[in-house]
Amino acid sequence: MIPDSRNIEKRLMKAQSRWDAVMKLDSEIIRLAGKAITSMHAGMFRESSETLGKLRSMVESLKKIEKGFEYYSLQAHQEYVEAASLYFILKKRRIPRADEFRESDAAYLLGLLDVVGELKREALGALMAEDTRKASFCYKTMLEIYDSTLPMRFANPITPDFRKKQDTARIQIENLGSDLLSAKKR
């Protein structure tokens, strides 16, 4: 028999249990962040504010158990940043600072790059409603986020898919810019 195998097994079972809890909470956070974003797009800001409160609490719970699994729970953190940033931008009309989230720099940057797509969605809705002022605000905010990240370059393990998200943001901005020009010509 392997010496101390029972103690090793007990420790690994604890780690497995923690892993399972991290992954469950990770999935719940991602789902709830999507719900918050959907309610914001529907103009239901009271509901989205309540959902964001629940999200914040869940993220804090995740931080307490994720040690050693942070790479795997990063998506939950960036989804939270994305949802909370969208709320900040639409309600407070500004991009939130990183220290307002108590999240890692990677989660903050990746979440902000993801919010570019949600702002495009808001802008397109505004254009359909002939609200070029709101659409222009969304466009300028998208551009501000992108331009701020443009000089940044990191290895993929530091900020997974950062470059890909930058490229996606650039394409979304270019497409919305064309849509805004078309709307102004009408």
C-alpha span between 157 and 166 (Å, rounded): 16
Domain of 60: which CATH number? 1.20.58.2140
Tell me the pLDDT tens digit for each residue of 56-91. Answer: 999 999 999 999 999 999 999 999 999 999 999 999
C-alpha span between 163 and 24 (Å, rounded): 28
How is 95-146 classified by DSSP, letter by letter? PPPGGGTT--HHHHHHHHHHHHHHHHHHHHHHHHTT-HHHHHHHHHHHHHHH
C-alpha span between 175 and 179 (Å, rounded): 6
pTM: 0.93
Tell me the pLDDT tens digit for each residue of 28-45. Answer: 999 999 999 999 999 999
Radius of gyration of the chain (CA): 19
Using the predicted structure, report yes or no on whether residue 186 has a pLDDT greater than 80.
Answer: no
User: What residues make up the domain containing 153?
Assistant: 5-185
Domains identified in the chain, total number: 1
Report in angstroms the alpha-carbon separations of 183 from 128, 139, 186. 9, 13, 5
C-alpha span between 80 and 149 (Å, rounded): 19
Q: What percent of the chain has pLDDT over 70?
A: 99
What is the token pair recorded at 97? 């600072």
